[in-house]
Every structure is written in structure tokens, then in C-alpha cells.
Chain A
Amino acid sequence: MASTACFIIVSRNDIPIYEAEVSSTLKKEEAAHEHQFILHAALDIVQDLAWTTSAMFLKAMDRFNDLTVSVYVTAGHTRLMLLHDSRNEDGIKSFFQEVHELYIKILLNPLYIPGSRITSSYFDTKVRGLARKYL
């Protein structure tokens, strides 16, 4: 179980559409926003790297101290970004894959406009559940 993890979905036009702190214990010295700053900065690398590989799962893209950024790029160039300090790569991969499935279900909703914020509470609950399960 990771002690820190921040999960964000970034739409293809670089706007965050879902964010969740999925840490088990909130570290006092790290402000919650700090994670978002790090994830935002990591977008630069994703941008370069996403086109060099056909893999969707880009593990350990960026490091900041102990924290690692792993990214999962969907075919529509939506990026699922996870900031974590655990080394459980398989868990992260499964987490991404399941969240991707959830995200596709969201996309299938005709009332959801692609690129807009995901406000579904079902999605939120599910993601947090997956985080507990895999991270």
C-alpha cells in the first residue's frame, strides 16, 4: 500500500478532468497541491515520450525525490497520471487498466462531453476502490 499517491486524469487538451488524492496517510509536510504541481510539470516529459513508444503504460516517467510519476496514455491521448512512491509496478499497471475501462464507460455516456470534468460520484468511488486494491 502506497503511503502517497495522487491520481489525475488529464484530457487531450492538457486540462485536468479528474483528480484524487488516493494516499492512505496524508503526509503533513507535503501540501496536496504540491503533487499537482509535480504532475503538471511531468506533462512535459509525457508529451515527448508518448510519441516515441507504442506502449500505453509509461512507468516511472519522472522522479521527484522519492516520488515517481507513472503515466498511462490512452488512444485518445487522455493521460492517466499517478504520482506514487511505491514500486509495485504490476499493481499500478492493473490500476491504470481498470481505470481506463471506467473512463471508457464514462465516455460512452451520451451526456458526457469528452474533455469536460468527470463529476460522476460512481467513478470517484470506483477509482478510490481500485486504488485501495492495487496501490
Chain B
Amino acid sequence: MEDYAEELRTPPVSLICLVGYPELHPTISGFLHSEQPPINVLALPEFSKISHLAGKQKGNLDSGNPGGILKRDWLIKHRTRVPSVVAALFGLDHVSGDPAQWLQVCTDLENLKSVIRGRNIKLVVVLVQSTFKDDVSEDRMIALRKRAEIDSKYLVVFAQNDTSELSQSLNRLASIFAELSNTYYREEGRRIKARLEKKSFSSAELNIRCCFKVAVYAEFRRDWVEALRFYEEAYHALHEMIALSTRLPPIQRLVEMKAVAEQLHFKVSTLLLHGGKVIEAITWFRQHISSYKRLVGAPEVVFLHWEWISKQFLVFAELLETSSATIPSTASLGSERPFTEWEFQPAYYYQLAAHYLREKRYSLDLSLSTSETSRQMEGATTIESPESVIPSVYVGQFARLLDQDFALAMQPLTDGEYVLYALAEGKRFQDSYEIIALFRKSFESYNNLKAQRMASYCSNQMAREYFAAGDFNNAKQLFDSIAGLYRQEGWVTLLWEILGYLRECSRNLGSPRDFIEYSLEMAALPILSTAGVEPSNVKEYGPAGPARHSQRENIQKEVFGLLKGQSTLMSKEGDCSLTVGEDQPLRLEIDPVSPLRVVFLGSVAFHDQTVKPGGSTLLTLSLLSQLPLPVEIDQLEIQFNQSNCNFTIKKSPELPLTESSTGEQACHVKTVPILTLEANKWLRLTFDIKSGQSGKLECLSVIASMGHHFTICCRVESPASMEDMPLWKFEDRVESFPTKDPALAFSGQKVIQVEEPEPQVDLILHTSGPALVGENFVVPVTITSKGHAVHSGELKINLVDTRGAGFLSPRETEPFSSDSLHVELVGISGSSEEHELQTGSENIKKIQASFGLLSVPFLEIGESWSGKLEIRWHRPKPIMLYVSLGYLPNSKETTAQKVHVHKSLQIEGKTPVVITHRFMTPFRRDPLLLSKIKPAPDSDPSLSLAFNETSILIVSARNCTEVPLRLISISIEVDRDEIGLSCTVRQSNEISTDLTLLVPGEEFKRVFSVTPEVASPKLSVGTVCLRWTRDSELGQPPHSGESELVTGVVTRHKLPNVNAEKAPLVSILECPPHAILGVPFSFHVRIRNQTQLLQEIKYSLEDSQSFLSSGPHNDAAFILPHSEHILGYKLVPLASGQQQLPRISVTSVRYSTGLHPSLAACTVFVFPSQPHFKTNGGVEEPKPICTE
């Protein structure tokens, strides 16, 4: 677009002319410029310069044939030299001044009028008021107006006394100028239109020229619709003229027409796009191209045609790119779809511009070669240098400039001369760069549109252009990027083409590796067509040649010839050759994503999943190649991650002559009868290999050597995880498994697990039944060496919750306290003598709550070592004990792997004794406890004790374990931290020193008396401390100090808090312990009032069959404060045995509750006669004992 002149590219701007009074010109022109629409100003400082405006003597338009269609400078003339309005500026003082000045004004005006008369230019007279007081008489004004022959409104007084006046004057001037220039352009247009309508012209050229002029004048007036109409008319007129005109020689005639058409088309497209009519513009462009595309012209200058077409596309692309018109969405176009999506994109046009420019280059090359050959044939006919050829006055015409008699003259050219000129011009341009730039532009915008395939098409064309221009580096880079896409999408033929170019690029760049890689990939492409190719068509193909099976074979032969050093490749220029030889060995790496995977694919499957260390296992190596011809492999090297497993495969007849290495390596050479890869046929080789160290044994790669200097290193894949070959996947071919065994093909792995060596050491954990909570439970550990000496042995101990509640790891129990831990590892010890020996620094001994580490001393074969683990349970809970021993079988190999022995043991933790307790009131003594009458909702009435009264506490301990236990002591520890001594607890009988044996399930009871000394609702009684030990441990020697035996294990049982309250009434039943049949005895009920109130009681006695009673039967009584009331009875037993006393019920009126003694309290044993008790000391009265 930049090729076009400025006046063509921008819309025209009306031009006016200012004459005289030069000091005002900058103000006025600046103002007019900024007007909307702007007005250009041609400023003439003096009236003597007005001859510039004078037109040349007009030749008669109608006479004869015009020289051309459009004059080259017509448009610029009207934009810069021919004003529509001339404004004559006079000072007001000149007009009103003396007659000489007036006369001068008149003369100037006359001259001006004579100049502009022929052109219909409008005249405006401006009188410039220089001072405030200037004024001019009405007569002079009229005279001036008459002289100038103008309307009174075009005689303007320009006042400039202050800014408001100045701007007012400027505004008035601008509006007058705009009006007049509009009139001027309309009149001019109308004048020419009238001629058009009359068809008063002799030739088609004039018709076109007139249309063009009308359109331009319309543009001056901003009448875009009319401008468009006449441009289109001119265009059509031109199109009709093509066949008719004979004015110029045929070649030049076509050139001129195309140049004019281009100009008209440009105008039309600009106007259409400007008006936002994108669809119309594209339709117009399409018609434009289709109507001119066939006008190829003479064969010598075909290139001019293609250049022109290319330019059309380029210009339209640029117009489309710069236009702000929105592209209608594809949906709005409806189902008819006259346009493709790309036709709205500049990229499409750029791409085609590049395409035609390339077309142009081909034809130019062709024309140049023919012209050169013809010139050589004709001999050097003297043709003047075309340098003197210049564009002539008409658009699209050229003429020779002749220097005749110091005057320049134009001479028309003959077609032959013109062709020479055009060829010379064509040679000057570097089309390649232009083409590449256009493709790049297109590529970039397609990329932005996310049209990846279009972009790669452009990039492909770009690369080909680079290739043609000999810039192989750039070409290779581009081709490489496209090849990726085609590989991915499987467009094999296209990939073939691209690889062909890449091959040539690397050949020319002197890169044997790339050349071989591309060639191998090409040879392995799935192209199976075997159709023959007639030699005449070979030229159609790129450097790759036709995509045929035979071509693949050729390529493979060529490459292998090169690889074996049999041939060298010369690059096209011959300056560098490709060789693979001693000095340049070549090694190709193929991994699972490489495109060369189709060339050489290796898969390895172990037949087993695990193997013993040092044991042997089977391994199948499968190789596949898609090269069309069989490939001979000289040697295969299999590499593992454990390098001592590596081995080499050779063909059997060949003796390893070159193998001069030591015997150790030679033993890794295996031989097979055949090492030839057929196309699409697995070569399966199965070997027996010895496993190495324990751990993972992985096959890494296979290195195939072909020839002396070429190796392919292929990363092997597992058959189980092997992917299909990318391009061959969908081909019609026989698919076979890499291994003979189909199961192995689906599950085979290139990795095998080599197991650890078998440990030859016994690790024994003993346990003596369940552990008891609180004791230090000892688990003896014994390590016995059977076949291995134990070097730097290490014992790891772990305690794990069996219920999976988590590892009792030290991290979890970070706020470390023994209470929060349920089970705790408290100690590890070795056997005593070792323990003493190894207190040094090398003895590792770490203990944490659930983890321990202990070093084991060196053990010879047959020796044993034992240690003990002490574990303490805080809660009854089963745990898993894991013990693992890691050791080295011998001390020499420090790198050798440790052997591990694992043992685990589940140990139950049990509660040893269950302690229960019970409070009782003393026998036949019932304090009235108010809390028992009205129990609070949340309190336990049984836990209420009478203040200052002695209560009985029975503590019983029951052995819950399966082993007998010995009780050492049982006592109640009163909490000292309570408020003083709140209650006294006394043991009822003296402490027994012997150890009570408690067999499983047995219960042991002890009685305490408790006297609360403080009345408190929450009285702490104390904690029962039970010391016990296992019965079995008593006889054994103490293993962890004397203290264990004495102290035993303490089990504590916290007694609940009791409610100690004052009892208002206490009833005491007094009765002998036994009675004798027929012997009367007395029976009292003593009721003590402990309050300060008078208490009324009611009592009644029920008769009993077994007793004869005397005393008050039914009565009421008052008891004074702090005094007692005694009810006395005399009873005679009538029956012997256990007898119920007559039942007495006492009711407190105030508390409305009765005192009912318990059934046991109301029972007495009646002897039939006086009993006799024989004891050591004599007769002893049986004491009331508390039995339940």
C-alpha cells in the first residue's frame, strides 16, 4: 500500500488560496487546518505570484486520441495546486486610502480575476482591519464588490481587534470557504458529469477519465456514495475497453490497463471498507481478481501479471488489516456461506500474495533464462540501456527520456524495449525475502487465530522459500517445527515431503547425524504404495521423491551405504561431504518419544518378577524395525542398572577376534545364530542371566552396532507398558507380540526384583502370657547365629497399636508424659556380661516411648546373645511388638547389604486386680441422714456418711488375671492436699506381714473404719493402694533390684468423695448377741437427739411369734435437745435358732420418716441352752462380726 502515492491513499482535502497580506496567512491556515473537515491552504504572499494559479493552455480534450487514460499528476494537481477558492486579502487602509492605493487594489483584483476566470475558481475578497478605528465608506465597498463581481456576502471585513472578534472573523471565513469550495467542486463535477451524460467524448479513455474526475470531485465534497458510484463506473468502463483499445502496443496496453484498474480498485475497496461494508469489499475484490486473473498477457512478461496479482492481494490484506470495520460473525452469514471464514482474515490474503509472488518469481526466472538464451542466440544486438526509461505522464505508461538539444523529450517505447526494461527492473528485486516476509505475516496471524494447521502450511511455504534461497538453517528450523505436527496427526505423505526437505537441509549443512536420522525416519514411514512412477513426473515431487515403497528402500540403501563407510555424500555445493568414519563415529539415541522409535524398537521382559540373589532368570529381548530392508546388526550390548550384569550378543559364527579384553568381560558375551532385523518382524532373543545384588535390576538400553562406527542406543521398554508405534498404529499390518508368550507380552517388565539374601540367624521373642498393667513386663530376646556371623548387628524395637490406632511413635506423643501413653518401652538391656562390656561409646542404645534401638555385639557362628525388653502398660491394651535385626554377614564388604530378620509378637495388657469398695453404717446403729430421705437428683445416697460417726469401709480386691498374685499390702492413703485431715481412717485389724496369695478369681477383702471429721458435701476419703507382685517372681532372684520385691507393683484405686453430714437423730438398737431359749433378756432402742430442737417421735412394736415381749407397744415421746430417749423391752425367746426380733418402728414426726433397722440387725440367734465356748484363753464372747 505504501507504493501508492499519498494523494491516492488519503481522502482529498479541499484547497483554497490566500493572496496578499502574508502576515495573516499562518493564523488563517492554521485555523482552517484544524477545522472539521479540514481545508488546505495555498498561501501566496503577493499578488505578483498569482500566475501560479494560471492553468496551462488547455489542449482540446476532444481532439484526437488521448495519450493515456489517467494523467499521473492530475490528482496531486488538484490537491496541491488548483484551489477551489481564492481569497484576496487587502488592508482596509488600502481600500479607504489614497487613490494610488485604491488603484493598486483594483489592478490586483483585475489580474486575479483574469487568472481564475478560466477555471471557475471562486473569489473572496477579505478586507483586513488593521487598527481599531479603520473604517471604509459604503461607496468604496460597493465599488470594490462590483469590481470583484462577487456577492456581497463574499466581501468580508476581517476584524482582529481582540480574540473574540478574531475568532468570529475566522469562523466566518471558514464557513465561506467551505461553502464556496463545496460549490466549486460540485460545479466542476456537474460540468464533467454533463459531458458524461452527453457522451460527448470520442474515446473510452476519456470516458474513464471523466468518471474518475467526477468521483474525485465527489470525494472532495465528501460525497462518498457518488464517489464510489463513479469509481465503479470507471472501473467497469475500463473493463469494457480491454478488448477495444489499440492505442498502445499490446504488452504496454495491458500494463496500463492493469495499473488504472488497480488504482480504481484501490479507491473502491478503500471506500467500501471505510463505510464498513466488509462483505461488499470482499465480493468486489473477488470479482476484481477473477476478472483480471485470466489477463495473463504475453508469455515474456507473465511475471508482471503475477506481480500485479500479488500486489492486489497484498494491498487488500493491508486495507483489511487497517480497516476498523468489524468482521461479521460466521453465524450471521447464514447457511448460504458465500465466503469462507478465512476470507475475512488478512492472513488469507497475505498468504495468497506470497503465493502469487512466488509464481511471479518462477515466471521471471523462466523469462530471464529464455531472454538470455535468445540474446545469446541473436548475438549482442545493441539495445540501449533501459536506465533512461521513466514512468510517463499517464498512469501505467512508460517512456524513454531523450536528451535532445538540451531539452528533455519523451519517446514511447516499443514492446520489445519495454520487456527488456521490465526484465531489468524485475532482476533488481529480491523476491525471496518479500515472499518470506509475507508468509511470516500470514503465519503469525494464523497462529493468533489458533489455526495451527493453516499456520504450519504457511510455515511450510516459508521454509521452502528459505530452502530455495539457500538459507538451510532457517529452513531446517521451520521444517522441524512442522514435522512435529504432521507426525502427531499422522499425515504420512506430508511428513514424507517435509522430511525430504529436512534431509536435504542437513545434507547441505553438513550434519551427518541429522541426515541419517531423517533418512532413517523416512525409510521407516508407513508408506506401502508400490505403484511405479513414470519418470516424467519425478519433477513434481520435492527432494524426497515420490512417496513409494521403492523410494524408502532406496533411502535405506543410501543411508546404510554411508553408515558402513562404503560411500560418502556430497552436499549440493560439494564443499562439505558427509562421512561416518573413524574420526566421526555416530551414535543415535532413541527413547520412547523419539520419532526414530519406528526404526529401532527394543523391549525387554524378565520372565519372573523376583529372583534370588545370584540366581538365574530368563530374559527375552525383542527388537523390531520398520525399515523396508533387513538390517544386519553386528553386535548388541545390553545394559542394566547394575553394570556387572551387562552383556554383549554376537553372531555365533564370528569369533570374538576383536575382543581382547579380560576373561571377566568375555564371559558376558553371548552368541546367537541370527542377528538380522526383518521389516515388521520381532527378533526375539531369550537369555539366561545371573542376577546381581539384591534390589532392583532394570534393563536400561540396548546398543546395536552396525558397521564399525555407527551405534544406535535404544532405551528399552517393558512390553506391558509399551505403546503402539505412532504412525504404524493404524496401518494394515500383521501385529505380533514382542514375546512368544502372550501373557508375558501383556505383563512383562524390564525390571526384576532381586530378593535379599536369606538370613541365617534366629531371632526369638519369648513371652510369659499377658502383661499386667503397671508392672515392668519383660520380654526376653534371643539371637542365635546359625550360619552367619553377626557383624554390627542392630536391633530395632517398635511398639504398634494392634487396633491400627496408629503407631505409638514419639512424634504423636510429643507432650511426653507417662499418663498419656498407654504402653511404654521403658528399658532395653543386653545380657549382663555383654552389658558391662559394651558400655562404651559404640554401644548404641536409644529408647523412646515406642521405639528402641540396641546394638548387638559381634557374634560368631553358633553363638547366641540374649537381651531383655521392658515394657510397661498404663492401660489394658493389646499391642504388637516388632523386633527387627539388621546385620552384615561378614565384616569385609562394607558395601554389602544388610540382612534383616523380622519378628513380631502380640502382647495383651491386662488389669491385674479389680478393687471395689463399699461403705456401711455400724451394726444396729442408724443415724438419720437427711440426704437419704430426700436424695438430690444427681448424688448417690449410698455415699452419704454421718458426721462424727464411725462408718465401715470394706475394700475388696479381685484377681482378674490367670496367674496367682501375692498381695504385699493394702492401705488407704488419705490425700494430704485436702483441707487438713477431714476424716480418720483406721484399719480395723493389724497389718498382716505375710503375703496373701490371691489365686485367679479370688477376692480379698479388708475392713476400714471411717469417721468423717468435717461435715462437707464433698469429703475426700483417700486412695486405696494395693501392692502386689506375681507369685512366680517371688522365688526368682530379683532382676532389677531389690526394691521390686519389697514395693511390688502398686495399683491405686481412688475412693469417691462422700457426703458427710450431721445426723439429727441416731437410733441405736441394743440387744445381746445371742439369747437362750426361755431365758429373758432386755432389748433397748436408744434414740439420741443431736439437734437443738425438741424432737417428737412415735414408735410401735409388732408382736413376734418367737418372742414374748413386755414394754410400750405404741406410743409417742418427746426428746429434749442433746438428750437420749430409751425404749426398753424385755423379751423371752420362744423358739431356738435364727429368730426375728419383734419389729419396732420409730418415726420422727419432724422429718416424717421412720427408722427401720435392717433385717440383719433385727435378727438374733437363740440357743436352745446355755452354750459353752472353749478357747485358749477361756470363754470368749462372740463379737458381732460384719458379715455380709
Contacts and interface: CB of A to CB of B under 8 A. Distances in A.
Interface in B492-539: 492-494, 497, 537
Contacts of A19: 493
Contacts of B292: none
Contacts of A65: 352, 355
A33 interface: yes
B1044 interface: no
Contacts of A52: 330-331
Contacts of B343: 63
Max count, chain B CB within 10 A of own CB: residue among A11, A14, A37, A63:
A37
Interface string A6-47: 000001011111010000001010111100111011111100
A16 B542 contact: no
Contact of A45 (B340, B493, B497, B730): B340
A44 B340 CA distance: 12
Given A15-B490, A45-B342, A52-B331, A116 B541 contact: no
B340 A60 contact: yes
B453 A117 contact: no
A61 interface: yes
A113 B489 CA distance: 18
Contacts of A117: 730-732
Q: How large is the interface on A (under 10, 10 to 19, 20 to 34, 35 or more residues)?
A: 35 or more
A90 interface: no
Contacts of B542: 31, 33
Which 6 A-B residue pairings sit nearest by Cβ, starting from the closest?
A15-B490, A41-B457, A116-B730, A44-B451, A119-B732, A31-B540
B457 A40 contact: yes
Interface string B342-385: 11000000001001000000000000000000000000000000
B494 A36 contact: yes
Interface of B: 330-331, 335, 337, 340-343, 352, 355, 446, 451-454, 456-457, 460, 486, 489-494, 497, 537, 540-542, 547, 729-732
Nearest to A112: B732
A100 interface: no
A38 B340 CA distance: 14
Nearest to A115: B730
Max count, chain A CB within 10 A of own CB: residue among B341, B355, B731:
B341
Given A33-B541, A60-B340, A117-B732, 8 more contacts: A16-B490, A19-B493, A33-B497, A36-B491, A40-B486, A41-B457, A53-B335, A63-B343
Nearest to A58: B337
Contacts of A38: 457
Contacts of A49: 330, 341
A85 interface: no
B489 A37 contact: no
B726 to A, nearest CB: 10
Max count, chain A CB within 10 A of own CB: residue among B352, B456, B730:
B730
A14 B489 contact: yes
Nearest to B726: A15
Nearest to B343: A63
Contacts of B335: 53, 55
Given A49-B330, A60-B337, A44 B494 contact: no
Max count, chain A CB within 10 A of own CB: residue among B352, B491, B493, B537:
B491
B730 A15 contact: yes
B45 to A, nearest CB: 58
Contact of B730 (A17, A26, A48): A17
Contact of A41 (B341, B352, B453, B492): B453
B341 A45 contact: yes
A119 B453 CA distance: 26
- Interface of A: prevailing SS: mixed
A37 B497 CA distance: 10
A18 B355 CA distance: 28
Contacts of B352: 64-65
Contacts of A62: 340, 342
A37 B457 contact: yes
Contacts of A31: 540-542
A33 B341 contact: no
A59 interface: yes
Nearest to A16: B491
Contacts of B493: 16, 19, 33, 36
B504 to A, nearest CB: 15
Interface string A56-90: 00011111110000000000000000000000000
A28 B343 CA distance: 27
A15 B495 CA distance: 12
16 contacts: A33-B541, A37-B494, A37-B497, A40-B486, A41-B457, A45-B340, A45-B451, A52-B330, A53-B335, A59-B337, A62-B342, A65-B352, A65-B355, A115-B730, A116-B731, A116-B732
A15 B489 contact: yes
Nearest to A32: B540
B453 A43 contact: yes
Contacts of A45: 340-342, 451
B800 to A, nearest CB: 52
Contacts of B730: 11, 15, 17, 113, 115-117
B733 to A, nearest CB: 9
A86 B774 CA distance: 100
Interface in A95-127: 113, 115-117, 119
Contacts of B453: 40-44
A41 B494 contact: no
Nearest to B729: A116
A37 B460 contact: yes
Contacts of B540: 28, 30-32
A122 B491 CA distance: 23
Contacts of A41: 453-454, 456-457
Nearest to B458: A41
A92 to B, nearest CB: 14
A61 B490 contact: no
Max count, chain B CB within 10 A of own CB: residue among A15, A17, A49, A62:
A15
A103 B452 CA distance: 28
A14 B485 CA distance: 11
A23 B1086 CA distance: 136
A32 B547 CA distance: 10
A116 B725 CA distance: 13
A118 to B, nearest CB: 9
Contacts of B486: 40
A53 B451 CA distance: 19
A65 B331 CA distance: 24
Nearest to A48: B341
A104 B456 CA distance: 32
Nearest to B329: A52
B452 A44 contact: yes
Contacts of B446: 44
B494 A61 contact: no
Nearest to B727: A15
A42 B355 CA distance: 17
Nearest to A63: B340
Nearest to A119: B732
Max count, chain B CB within 10 A of own CB: residue among A40, A45, A55, A63:
A40
A62 B497 CA distance: 23
Contacts of A40: 453, 457, 486, 489, 491, 494
A33 B493 CA distance: 7
A74 B1141 CA distance: 111
A17 B493 CA distance: 12
A98 to B, nearest CB: 23
A115 B342 CA distance: 29
A132 B429 CA distance: 45
Contacts of B355: 65
A26 B541 CA distance: 13
Contacts of A26: 537
Contacts of B452: 44
A15 B491 contact: yes
Contacts of B341: 45, 48-49
Contacts of A63: 340, 342-343
B361 to A, nearest CB: 14
Contacts of A16: 490-493
